[in-house]
A and B are shown apart, each in its own frame.
Chain A
């Protein structure tokens, strides 16, 4: 009886491992080979210009659902990851992870201080687009869309992007981690006028 139970358990484990191996068949080495888990560097202040420079270093890099680690070589080092899988270990942040890092936020939602995460630090942070939209966490507040300026954000329930510049026609240039097929870049968007989007601001910018 004991032997039979042992055999069943062994087979179950074997099947589970085989299934897991199939499900996770696609896995890039980008995170494993390049990223780290170093603690962030506290900074005493944050400027919109400095954050724009941080964001610009992510431009032309990849997108990874639940990701948060990228280099600065102007290409996606793990292109065409399956986009419904957060565990593929690819390069890039997702939209909320990118915002978290550019806004230098903390893992604790009660902490509104400034924490510089390195490009290659793998971190996503505690916020989703929807929680950013709601102004959740000590560093984040909602703000009227008409008053948003550079490095403020426009967020919907499923996406968030940062304002990089305003165009003469009233649209915005948004820097955002858009999706696996898009990567992270600056595009003209009309989020500001869309009722799906709300204004969000990080608190504490130096003037």
Chain B
């Protein structure tokens, strides 16, 4: 392994106080990890990715692994990597102090990693652990805290005991049993008053109607980002209202608050900035512009108390408003959580690993309910996982070499209550995880065909 020669085996074991200071400093001075070089020349690179083991099973080892990418300024052939080292700080959930675990070098599938297997004794019995890591590239003078909120907002790995096991078998594509749904909104592609627009350019497929949401009254709002407006179908109406909004016109996500205000998460950012969230009143007047904490942010949703965004590098859900006031990027980082809270106190946590999906509903005492689903057909992304009463509605995509569909699953206390497939209906590109919303007991789906975009409603029999 060629990078080993430059890799330090020395562990970084500072005191917790130092670590917390580092974390606070990183949070205070910036959350961006990219390092710009001089114009025209390559700068230093030091970044890391980490897939947190959010949900584990009894007896499963907890492996904390960080893929590390680094290159010195001016180095155009960076295969040799650079000296890097790190420490994970771990404690049982609710514990008082973190224990430092040196990260060791290893290579997995050709990826350079800093990693450690957590000793069983460090996890809280029946519950799990909290952790973060500090990574350093001393030759570059760079340091990363992962997640950036450090001790204030660590990753959490929970243990599933007694999860309901569900085997989905092999999926049959194109099968019967698809509910028709009720079409509650539709717009043909075009540039007219009631059309939805398409971004089109060379190399890009069609991109349009990039996201949607449904308010508590059942009004459907579709983000027509190409025309920089929202199309709003008042419940029962077939003709949309137009709400012009000031956005940058690229792929963006949408969430509607209980007071009718509209939150738009842009995914392309102004130079040198992170993506912006723009809040508008129901008439389209801009109320706030809030900078997100990370350079890549993939979703915005309304939780019970606040709009939250999902950070691309931390994998944490972060509130962007606190007590009605915009949260600074630093505050967003310090309040990050691994799960959403769409219905008040309970948190929903998901993990898809290969052909298995794990889901936990967590309350103040720990994991209240959990499921493990295995599939004979490859699983792609989880589009939605939200509790309704004692059940959970899950939407996941299944695929093979040539086909894909969504599967809607209703999970009950002792097993699978219902399931049905839905066509992917994704002729145009949208926000990748913006295709489904659950409001009350109704599931809404944003789809598209070569003629236009639409929203269908499926009324679920859930308790």
Query: Residues of A at under 8 Å CB distance from B?
Result: 34, 41, 43, 45-50, 52-54, 56-57, 59-60, 65, 71-76, 83-84, 86, 94-95, 116, 118-120, 129, 144-146, 149-150, 156, 158-159, 164-171, 173, 178-183, 185-190, 192-196, 198, 205-207
CA distance A46 to B380 in the complex (A): 29
Partner of A71, one of B41, B70, B404, B433: B41
Partner of A190, one of B199, B268, B351, B381: B381
CA distance A41 to B75 in the complex (A): 13
**Given A48-B111, A150-B67, A170-B352: A83 touches B47 (CB 8 Å cut-off):** no
Partner of B49, one of A50, A65, A164, A183: A164
Q: Mark B181-202, 1 if CB is under 8 A from A, else 0.
A: 0000000000000000001011
CA distance A32 to B109 in the complex (A): 40
Nearest chain A residue, comparing its CB with the CB of B248: A181
**Size of B's binding interface in residues, CB under 8 A:** 76
Instruction: Collect the chain A residues with CB atoms within 8 Å of residue B397's CB.
Output: 190, 193
B79 to A43, Cβ gap below 8 A? yes
Partner of A167, one of B1, B111, B315: B315
CA distance A49 to B403 in the complex (A): 32
**Given A74-B271, A187-B267, A193-B381: A171 touches B298 (CB 8 Å cut-off):** yes
B110 to A180, Cβ gap below 8 A? no
Which residues of chain B (33-65) have a CB below 8 Å from chain A?
34, 36-43, 45, 47, 49, 51-52, 54
CA distance A84 to B432 in the complex (A): 25
Does B77 belong to the interface (CB within 8 Å)? yes
Min distance, Cβ B26 to any Cβ of chain A, angstroms: 19
B272 to A74, Cβ gap below 8 A? yes
Instruction: Collect the chain B residues with CB atoms within 8 Å of residue A94's CB.
Output: 203
Best-surrounded residue of A48, A52, A76, A168 (most CB of chain B within 10 A): A168
CA distance A54 to B75 in the complex (A): 10
Q: Mark B298-324, 1 if CB is under 8 A from A, else 0.
A: 110000000000001001000000000
**Given A43-B77, A190-B397: A206 touches B110 (CB 8 Å cut-off):** yes
A53 to B315, Cβ gap below 8 A? no
Q: Mark B254-272, 1 if CB is under 8 A from A, else 0.
A: 0000000000000110011
Q: Mark B398-416, 1 if CB is under 8 A from A, else 0.
A: 1101111000000000000
**Given A119-B42, A167-B315: A158 touches B67 (CB 8 Å cut-off):** no
Instruction: Collect the chain A residues with CB atoms within 8 Å of residue B461's CB.
Output: none
CA distance A68 to B120 in the complex (A): 50
B36 to A72, Cβ gap below 8 A? yes
**Given A146-B378, A159-B203, A206-B2: A168 touches B352 (CB 8 Å cut-off):** yes
Instruction: Collect the chain A residues with CB atoms within 8 Å of residue B326's CB.
Output: none
Does B354 belong to the interface (CB within 8 Å)? yes
Instruction: Collect the chain B residues with CB atoms within 8 Å of residue A181's CB.
Output: 199, 201, 249-250, 268
CA distance A123 to B374 in the complex (A): 45
A168 to B52, Cβ gap below 8 A? yes
Q: 4 more A-B contacts (CB under 8 A) besides A166-B51, A167-B315?
A: A188-B312, A190-B381, A190-B397, A195-B402
